[in-house]
Structure 1
Amino acid sequence: MALLLATLMLIQNRMSQTQNVADTSATHQETLLILGVDSQDSSMVGHRSDVIMLMRMRHDPEWIDIVSVPRDSLVDLPDCAGSHATEHSGKKDKLNSAFAYGSVADVDDRGSAQAGMDCAAMAITEEAGIPIDDTIATTFNGVTGIIDSLGGADLPVDDGGRIVREGKGEQHFSGQGVVTQLRARKTETGGSDLSRINHQQEILGALLDYYRSEGIIDSSGSVNSMKEFTALLTALTNGTATTVSLNDVRSLMQRAASTPVSTATLPTGPADDGVNAVWTQQTTQFWQAYKNGEDLPK
C-alpha cells in the first residue's frame, strides 16, 4: 500500500470538496493499479492482494478517480506465466488470488513480485476490459515502515478503540497498530469486504488529518522534515514493488496534491455462497463509464 498511503494521504482531504462537480468526462486517461499484499514481512511470494484499487487519471480537465475493487470478487483467472498460475488458469477464484498465483511463477525472469503484478493486472484487464498502464504493490510491512518513519500518529478513536475520522478520544498509534486495523477482517458494521474498505478509507483520512495538523506534510504534499523525508523514502523501498520509476512516483504525488479527486467502490452482488461477490449488470455499466472517461457513480 505504498501509494495507498503515500498518494491517498495526499489527496484524502480533497474528497469532501469533490462531491458536487461539473461533468469531467475525458477520453484521454491512464490507469494505475494499486495492490496491498497480505504479508507482514518484505516477501510477496504466494500472498494475496487484500487491497485492490485503481487510480484513473483523466486529462482535459485534470481529474483523479480512486476505485476500490472488492477483493472477494469472483473472476475467471487469466493464463499467467509459471506452472502454479497456469494450474489455476480459467478457474473461478477471488480476484485477490491472481497476485498470489502469479507471484510464484517459475518461468518469469523479472522476479516474483513483478510476475504477481502482471497476473493481477491481466485479471482486471481480461475481466473488466480495463488496460492497466502501471502497477504498485506493497506489503503491510511497508506500510508499518512508512508510518513509523513519520513518528507514528495520534489518531481519533471511537469507544471501541477503532480509528475514525472524528472520534471522542485520541490514541497514539505505531505503524503496527495502524496496520492491525487496516488488516482487520471485521468491523463494527460487519465482516464484509465493503465495510472493511470503508474503514480503511476512514483510517487513511485520519492519518492525513494528523500529519497535516502537525505540519509534517504540507498542503502541496511535501514532507517538511529532511529526516522524516529520508526515513520515508527508505520505508518506501522496503516491501514495495512497482513498474513506475521513482521520478514517476514523485510526479504522481505532486499531481495528486493539486488535482481534484473523487472516490468510488465497484458495485457487486452477493455470490451463491453468501461470502464472496460477483460482478453484475451494474458492474458492467460501471466499467463502461470508466472506459468512456465518464464520472463514476459513488
Structure 2
Amino acid sequence: MSDESTPESTGPQRPAGGPRKGRRRRRGLLVAAWTAVAIVVVGGTGVGFVYAKLNGNIRSIDINRVLGSDRPRKSPDGSENILVLGSDSRSGGNRKLGGGDVSGARSDTAMIVHVRRGHRSADVVSIPRDTLVLRPACTDSAGATHGAAHAVMFNSAYSTGGAACAVKTVEALTGIRMDHYLEVDFAGFRKLVDTLGGVTVTTSENIDDAKSHLHLKAGTHRLDGRQALGLVRTRHGVGDGSDLGRIQLQQAFVRSLVDEVKHIGLLTSPKKLYDLADTATKALTTDSDLGSVNSLISFAGGLKDIGASHLHMITMPVQYDPADRNRVLVDKAKAAQVWAALKNDRPIPADATRGTATGDARGVVTP
C-alpha cells in the first residue's frame, strides 16, 4: 500500500539488519484476516437476511472468463495460490485518505499466498511494486485490450488493466496459476481497524513520516484506522527508505491484525460482529469463485488451522537496479528457486533470499 502515485527516491542508505523473531505465538493466515469476521457473524446468526446483505457487499470479477485458457495449469496436488492486492481502486472514501491527487486505480501491495497441500502451512511472497517486469498483453474486465510493455513497474499492471491484468502479469512472472484473487481497498482497511477497536503494535524506534502522516515514538501503541493506514504506507524514516522496507512493516502489521481478528467473538457483542462482517465484506473484491459469503466461509475455513509456526513470509528476491536506484530488478536465479518451491509444494529454501536487497526495516514493528 502506498501514499503516492509515483515512487520517489528509494535507494538504500544503510546496510540491512538481521531479522527479529516475534515473541508471541500467532495463529491464522493473511487472507483470513479479511474474511474471518464475516465467518464469525454469519456462523453465529443463521439469519437469512444477513447472508443477503453481506453477499451484496462483495464485489467479484470473473478472472477465468477474462484470461481464458492460456494460463498455467492448476496444481493437481491440492495446494492453492492466491493473489492478494491492497488498492485504492474504489472511489469515494479513498479520496479522503490523503496522499496527493491521484487519478485512476492503484495497487501498491501484492502478495502471493501459497497454501500447501493439506492446508496446514503456507508461504507468503510479497512482490515490490517498484519491480521492473514484462507486463504481458492483457484484456481488462470491460473488454479493452492493452499491449505488452517491457521494463515497467509491476504495479502498472493493475493501473493499466485492473485485476485480470495483475493476475496475468503475476502468472507470467512466476509460471504459477493464481487459483484465487482477493483485493482489499484502503478505505475499507481503515474502517475495519476502527471497527475492531484498533490494533496493537510495538515499534523499536521512532517513526516520523510526513508523507504518510504517521508520527510514533518507540514503544507499544494501539493504532486506530488512520494510524494503521499510515503505518502500512510508511517508507520514509524507517530502514533504508525504500518500498522494500515498507513491505516489512506491512508483513509485521498483518501478523498483528490476524492476531487481533482471531480473538473476535470471545467477548464481542453480536452487533459488533455484524459491523465487522459488514465492513470486511464491503472492503473486498474477489474472483467470482469466492464472490459469496458461503464461498468465503468454505475457503477461509480450510485455512483456520494454519499457525504462525507454519507461516513463512518473504519478499520476492530482487536487487536494486544499478541504472536507477528507485527501482528493483528480479533476481532471476533466486526467484526461480522460490517459484520452483511453490510449484512443487516444497518449503522455500533459505538460500533463495540470502544476499538479495532488503529494506532494513525488519523488527522496527512487532506485534
TM-score band, normalised by shorter chain: 0.7 to 0.9
Aligned-pair CA distance for 1:57: 1.5
Q: Is 1:153 aligned to 2:199, yes or no?
A: yes
C-alpha separation in 2, matches of 1:65 and 1:186: 28
Aligned-pair CA distance for 1:154: 4.3
Aligned-pair CA distance for 1:47: 2.0
Contact 2:119 2:302 in 1 (8 A): no
Aligned-pair CA distance for 1:273: 1.0
Aligned-pair CA distance for 1:133: 1.0
Contact 2:200 2:223 in 1 (8 A): yes
Q: Is 1:197 aligned to 2:247, yes or no?
A: yes
CA 1:191–1:86: 2 relative to 1, 3 Å: farther
Q: Is 1:97 aligned to 2:156, yes or no?
A: yes
TM, length-normalised to structure 2:
0.62
CA 1:5–1:216: 2 relative to 1, 3 Å: same
Write the letter of the residue equivalent to 1:216: I
Equivalent residue in structure 1 for 2:281, among 221, 225, 237 = 237
Aligned-pair CA distance for 1:85: 7.1
C-alpha separation in 2, matches of 1:95 and 1:160: 30
Pairing 1:1-298 to 2, within 5 Å after superposition: 4=30, 6-7=32-33, 27-38=77-88, 41=91, 46-60=104-118, 62-81=120-139, 86-102=145-161, 116-161=162-207, 169-210=219-260, 215-216=263-264, 224-243=268-287, 244-245=290-291, 246-259=293-306, 260-271=310-321, 272-279=323-330, 280-298=332-350
Aligned-pair CA distance for 1:81: 1.8
C-alpha separation in 1, matches of 2:134 and 2:144: 12
Contact 2:85 2:184 in 1 (8 A): yes
**Cross-structure match for 2:12:** none
Aligned-pair CA distance for 1:257: 2.3
C-alpha separation in 1, matches of 2:231 and 2:222: 13
Task: Give the SS at the match of 1:100.
Answer: helix
C-alpha separation in 2, matches of 1:211 and 1:133: 25
C-alpha separation in 2, matches of 1:120 and 1:275: 21
C-alpha separation in 1, matches of 2:105 and 2:189: 16
C-alpha separation in 1, matches of 2:196 and 2:136: 39
Task: Give the SS at the match of 1:93.
Answer: strand
Contact 2:35 2:281 in 1 (8 A): no
C-alpha separation in 2, matches of 1:287 and 1:90: 22
Aligned-pair CA distance for 1:249: 2.1
Equivalent residue pairs, number: 259
**Cross-structure match for 2:8:** none
Contact 2:79 2:119 in 1 (8 A): no
Contact 1:138 1:239 in 2 (8 A): yes
Structure 1 gaps, min length 5: 11-25, 103-115
Task: Give the SS at the match of 1:59.
Answer: coil
Q: Which has the higher contact order (CA 8 A, sep 6+)?
A: 2
* Deviations, residues 22-52 of structure 1 (Å, cap 9, x unaligned): xxxx943211100001458558983221110
Write the letter of the residue equivalent to 1:278: L
Contact 2:186 2:229 in 1 (8 A): yes
C-alpha separation in 2, matches of 1:60 and 1:255: 9
* Deviations, residues 235-289 of structure 1 (Å, cap 9, x unaligned): 1233421111322322333332202322222111222211211122111222122
TM, length-normalised to structure 1:
0.75
> Identical aligned pairs, as a percentage?
29
C-alpha separation in 2, matches of 1:253 and 1:35: 17
Structure 2 gaps, min length 5: 2-28, 37-75, 95-102, 209-216, 351-367
C-alpha separation in 1, matches of 2:304 and 2:237: 30
Aligned-pair CA distance for 1:98: 0.5
Task: Give the SS at the match of 2:303.
Answer: helix
Aligned-pair CA distance for 1:200: 1.2
Decide which moves more: 124-133 or 87-96. 87-96
Aligned-pair CA distance for 1:296: 0.8
Contact 1:156 1:206 in 2 (8 A): no
